Amino acid sequence: MSLKFGIEFVPKEAYWKISAYAILAENNGFSNLWITDHFGNRNVYVTLAAAAIFTNKITFGTGVTNPWMINPVITAQAIASLDELAPGRVVLGIGAGDKTTLEAVGMEMGKPLAAVKETIDIFRDLMSGESVAYQGTVFKTAGAKFNFKPKNKIPVYVGAQGPKMLEMAGKVGDGVLINASHPSDIEYAVKMANEGMKQAGKTASDVDIAAYTSFSVNEDMKKAIKAATPVVAFIVAGSPPPVLEKHGINLAKADEIRAALKVGDFGKALGAVTPEMINAFSICGTPDMCIEKIAELKKIGISQFVVGSPVGPNVKAAIDLIGAKIIPQFNKD
């Protein structure tokens, strides 16, 4: 069975540049495009709309949005509108959100499981075209209804890391976005998602399980690792001690990175990143090295591999390299 490839872009750059990358990704055999949603970057829906206009077949969606920043009804409205722009090519990627990001705008992450589940319920009810009266523990609607009729069934992917969210993702989602790179983390996540699928009477073909990784590729291994290092530094800084200890990462080193990033000393932070951290929180290296690591994740049970930030030292060159040397290795079946 072939493996689908997705790619993530962070809209820190102008819409035209993200659109150019999207075109390039589509031409290189990527099947899915994911755009991150963070208030500090350009708007995710504007960026997705631009990408939709300039592409023809790639499937795209939020990677991921959250229930808190925008009311679920408005999220549904945005996704349904995108589907009119690019029929049958749109998905909703939804997760609990990042605690630090939410705190920055004065929001609390209360009842994340309920919030995500209720957002999905409201989204699907609105997509039916009916008036929605919904009474949840987090969200309520009193006759919300679109003045247009959504035409397509839009898949919902749930971004998940914790066991309960992973289980729920398998149970209610059309796809699961696992934010991890290491085989042991992916193996655990797939196991929990499969448990949810089992509860819902689903089979493996019913849910697209995606490894959403920090990725960097270059013919020069050192250049690939250098590009991945800043991303890994931030991942380490945001990881709790049990996660770090699981991967044999020195907690003092992690504290050093965290403290350096807090005061903006990026040189010190990046210098403290160890090979163990790179191995735990990214997939990077030469094409052959990446192929070996991706193949291991495929054996575990993923059906989509998402190439996440930074992609490579040069994004355009990395996309071409993936399209020429990596994707073809997984489309032979």
Spatial contact of 164 and 112, defined as CB atoms under 8 Å apart:
no
Convert the pLDDT of each residue in 161-212 to its tens digit: 999 999 999 999 999 999 999 999 999 999 999 999 999 999 999 999 999 9
Is pLDDT of 332 > 80?
no
Is pLDDT of 225 > 80?
yes
Cis peptide before 72 (omega within 30 of 0): no
Tally of residues, the chain? 333
Q: What angle do CA 279, 232, 274 make, to 5 degrees?
A: 55
Residues 6 or more apart in contact with residue 329 via CB below 8 angstroms: 291, 295
Convert the pLDDT of each residue in 273-294 to its tens digit: 999 999 999 999 999 999 999 9
Residue 333's pLDDT is 58
Q: Does domain 4-219+286-330 have CATH number 3.20.20.30?
A: yes
Residue 331's pLDDT is 87
Residue 109's pLDDT is 86
Convert the pLDDT of each residue in 80-90 to its tens digit: 999 999 999 99
Q: Where are the domains of the chain?
A: 4-219+286-330, 225-283
Read off the pLDDT of each residue in 146-153 and give the average, rounded to a whole number. Answer: 93
Query: Measured between alpha carbons, how far is 332 from 57 in angstroms, rounded to an integer?
Result: 21
Query: Measured between alpha carbons, how far is 159 from 116 in angstroms, rounded to an integer?
Result: 10
Residue 75 has phi, psi (to 5 degrees) of -60, -45
Q: Give which of 164, 190, 195 is closest to 178, Cα–Cα.
A: 190
Residue 103's pLDDT is 86
Spatial contact of 24 and 16, defined as CB atoms under 8 Å apart:
no
